[in-house]
Chains A and B, each alone.
Chain A
């Protein structure tokens, strides 16, 4: 609006800074290479031959939390693992997002017992919950695309 109408088609696109930043952020998410249980195997399938997550701009799994901005909590989180998980989350630089993959990470799943944290949202704030036990790779891809949508509408001021 405005500039394009005055000048015509000159190969210039105007947008707000917020949109540009969010567009860049959402299409180059670096997930952390962090698997816990069964869902981690489906996460591996998602990246591997048939499903190929790199079609969505996130093939770069980083083993270090310092280099990643998406934590996919793939599997059940035990009480022993919970402090480690929070530590990893704290080590991730802003902006950062969390996907709770699978029923166990979302709410404890079938394991309503002493050893399992009843939903990883008790430890870290979760952006997207992906249902399934374990979720199919398509479901995880859908969850990640939902997250991309969410990032595109985030205010820039959220991460300061």
Chain B
């Protein structure tokens, strides 16, 4: 029996009764009404708020969901609950002092952010980096990728209901954090990579720590795969969910495993190699379906590739300095400060005044765990940047969420958010 569509009378909707005169908003009510379908205004579909305080939104993401029963009609992400104003604060600091701020954008991959920013400064000022520093950067970048993927795997699995994976992942992550702590002194916010090289050389037990990771990880990865790869519950929740085609993924500017899960071969490490990535052999894993499962497969394969790169880099790690000898940006060594007055003054000037960068704009991108992390740096000839803009991969990957989740079930949205691997610090900056 066909039921006639009820006539939609927008004027009678309860939403229309809200008084908006007394609130000074930068948005009109008409604009808001256009976001949802007309059926929501008559109460035929249900509007549901999710977040910002919700355990599976990975932070403070807020979603406005329009539901027809359990099916999602439209999904409107509302971001900005972690807007930190990092780009504004960076304008008031010298080039060197911005590095700690970059740690705090994508806080699961601090080293990648350091490298993207320092790469941009090096490009703007024109600094060459010693080869040992470049190799160490590669090792740390790959460890960072694993760090980021471990948190992704743990929380993604936890959201879908596999709790033990989370505990295993956090256990393995501590090994990587130990390396961070050994090289930089901090567990998470390393600020270890500096324009011109690294803060200092790695400690003597660094090779043992990395070797431990290389020895332990392959077995542990096998463990995760045993838990998830062929698990019927896992496959039921992930295969065919949250599909996005290759064309759409490119048009939305998605990068990283989200783009490669759809079968597009784009990896900054291969396309525009930085920091000696062209010295190493590795492959870029690609998916085909572009669903949650393929993104999961891509990232799991990236673990193995990262281990492969680290193994090569450790074997070929050259000796030498880790900081450029260009004293315009590099501080004088500590032993020199002890007896040379000029070095002391130079050190003081470098830390208080900073070095000057020429006028102009540069863009430098690295492949972080989540995608292309770029820094657009605009210098104005002074020691402070005119503008630092972070091209955050999560921001671009999150944007098509409304489209990906259309027609999915309410429970699937948790799986989709987990699979695109957002970090709200990166989205909101």
Whether chains A and B associate is yes
Q: Which of A's residues lie within 8 Å of B, judged by CB?
A: 33-38, 40-42, 44-45, 48-50, 63, 65, 75-76, 78, 80-81, 84, 88, 110-116, 133-134, 136
Q: Can you spell out 15 A-B residue pairs with CB atoms less than 8 angstroms apart?
A: A33-B55, A36-B82, A42-B187, A44-B170, A48-B166, A49-B167, A49-B168, A49-B174, A50-B170, A78-B81, A78-B82, A80-B81, A110-B89, A115-B85, A134-B189
**Distance between A160 CB and nearest chain B CB, rounded to angstroms:** 27
CB of B189 within 8 A of CB of A81, answer no
Choice from A34, A41, A45 contacting B107 with Cβ under 8 Å: A41
* Smallest Cβ-Cβ distance to A76: which chain B residue: B84
CB of A45 within 8 A of CB of B174, answer: yes
> What residues on B are CB-neighbors of A116 within 8 Å?
84-85
Other than A33-B55, A37-B107, A38-B104, give 4 A-B pairs with Cβ distance below 8 A.
A75-B82, A76-B82, A76-B84, A80-B81
With an 8 A cutoff between CB atoms, is B80 at the interface?
yes
Report whether B88 and A114 are in contact in the complex, using a CB–CB cutoff of 8 Å: yes
Chain A residue nearest to B93 (CB atoms) is A110
Per-residue contact bits, chain B 43-70, to A (CB 8 Å; 1 contact, 0 not)? 0000000001111000110000000000
* CB closest residue in chain B, given A47: B170
Closest to B172 in A: A49
Structural contact, A88 and B53, CB atoms closer than 8 A? yes
The residue on B at minimum CB distance from A81 is: B81
Partner of B89, one of A63, A80, A112: A112
Q: Does chain A have a CB within 8 A of B235?
A: no
Q: How far is the CB of A124 from chain B (nearest CB, A)?
A: 14
Beta-carbon contact of A84 and B89 below 8 Å: no
B221 within 8 A of A: no
User: Are A38 and B88 in contact, with the CB atoms below 8 A?
Assistant: no
A37-B424 in contact (CB<8A): yes
Cα-based distance from A80 to B59 in the complex (angstroms): 14
Given contacts A110-B89, A133-B189, contact A49 B82 (CB under 8 A): no
A45 to chain B minimum Cβ distance, whole angstroms, is 6
Do A41 and B188 touch across chains, with their CB atoms under 8 A apart? yes
| Known contacts A40-B59, A48-B171; A113 and B107 CB within 8 A of each other | no
Q: Which residues of A contact B88 (CB under 8 A)?
A: 113-115
Counting CB contacts under 8 A, is B279 at the interface? no
Q: Is B33 engaged at the interface, CB distance under 8 Å to the other chain?
A: no
Query: Smallest distance from the beta carbon of A52 to chain B beta carbons, Å?
Result: 10
Specify which chain A residues have a CB less than 8 angstroms from the CB of B174 in the assembled complex.
45, 49-50
